[in-house]
Homo-oligomer: A and B are copies of this chain.
Amino acid sequence: MLNVGKFIQKCGGKAGKAPVIAVAGSTGAVGVEFLRLMEERSTTFSELRLLASSRSAGKKQKFRGQEVVVQEMTKDSFKDVDVAFFSAGGAQSKSFCPVAADAGAVVIDNSSAFRMDPEVPLVVPEVNARQVLNAPKGIIANPNCSTILMNVVAYPIHVEAGLKRVVVSTYQASSGAGAAAMEELKEQARAWVSGKPLPMDIFKRQYIFNLFSHNSKMDPDSGYVEEELKLVNETAKIFAGSEAAKKWKQPFGVTGTCVRVPTLRAHCESINIETHNPISPERARELLAKAPGVTVVDDRVNNKFPEPVDASHKDDCLVGRIRTDATLPDKRGLWLFMSGDQIRKGAALNGIQIMELLLASKGK
């Protein structure tokens, strides 16, 4: 039987056994958040194994008041592991996810290494939860942060009115480039205030009081950066495996411009949507208000809409500025503005939700 099936049989449902959980990359921004979420959500386990590179091995991380020693990730790290969450970078995932899967673990991988592999499901639980079961390699991929956030707010509109074309401009936080990038932004603020030269080790430019085109790898032919291509390709894969794909069979267009802004840990996205069927802002607001993982913040009277500082450390994505784009006919145009915690729903929370989906499944 395949890993996911075995996992569900052993650990799924109320009678399931507590799993052995491994966190690969436990000392990174996303790894730390994963542990925090396990505390918050009272995740049950029989063993928690923290794994990292040799550089971090031996460090201690606090978990529920106790200190857990970080182990160096090796080929032998995954014996008896039931589920392994990976957020240790693409190279580590490529090397170790198959090892963990071979050892019998269900792997939830936050890197981009396997996302477009046709044998690896790419899952946003609010959109295509059932795909977790189609994981012949034992690996389930966590999508890119801006993809997850956009998908969570766009899906309820898709179910109702059918997406035809989605045009996205992002406002991405420093956290997307890791903990050191967040620190560099803060350090630049301190340097700016004290009149010292700005540290530019990571982004090689002024970041405080500035913004710039997303620093992911550029495809020089198309002119798109990887972050933008992820938004396009990952969304297509995720939505193709959703329930709504039975109703809306035609793929829809997604295009984006990704920008880094000097914020800390929540991304924003300005989303312009063309739909097949008309949809009023009132109906869109109603759908989003009851959608899982979404909180509507759309107070026109008090000019209160989604902001990064409000979305930070929240599970839900905030969405507002819900209004008709009248340049498209017959209420087939809709604007949304959203903010979501990049480290949380954009990475660690989505991963833990995938694990919870499996744990909630009944053993066969």
**Which chain A residues have a beta carbon within 8 Å of chain B's beta carbons?**
165, 167, 169, 171, 185, 189-190, 192-194, 205-206, 208-213, 215, 218, 220, 222-225, 253-255, 257, 259, 261-264, 268, 270, 272, 281, 300-301, 303, 305, 307-309, 320-328, 333, 335, 337
**Among the listed B218, B255, B270, which residue makes an inter-chain contact with A335, where contact means beta carbons less than 8 Å apart?**
B255
Q: How many copies make up the complex?
A: 2
> Is A223 within 8 A of B300, CB to CB?
yes
> Is B323 within 8 A of A223, CB to CB?
yes
> Is A255 within 8 A of B272, CB to CB?
yes
> Is A337 within 8 A of B189, CB to CB?
no
Interface centre among A167, A211, A259, A262 (most CB of B within 10 A): A211
> Is B259 within 8 A of A218, CB to CB?
no
Q: A205-B309, A213-B321 are in contact. List 10 more A-B contacts (CB 8 A).
A: A189-B209, A209-B262, A209-B309, A210-B308, A212-B305, A213-B320, A220-B301, A222-B324, A257-B321, A261-B262
- B residues less than 8 Å from A272 (CB atoms): 167, 169, 255, 257, 272
> Is A209 within 8 A of B308, CB to CB?
yes
Query: What DSSP secondary structure best describes chain A's contact surface?
Result: mixed
Chain B residue nearest in CB terms to A298? B223
- Measured CA separation A85–B22 after assembly (Å): 67
Contacts A/B (CB < 8 Å), 26 sampled: A167-B272, A167-B325, A169-B169, A169-B272, A189-B193, A189-B208, A190-B193, A193-B193, A193-B194, A205-B307, A209-B262, A210-B307, A210-B308, A211-B307, A212-B307, A213-B321, A218-B301, A218-B303, A220-B301, A223-B300, A225-B303, A253-B327, A255-B272, A255-B326, A262-B263, A272-B272
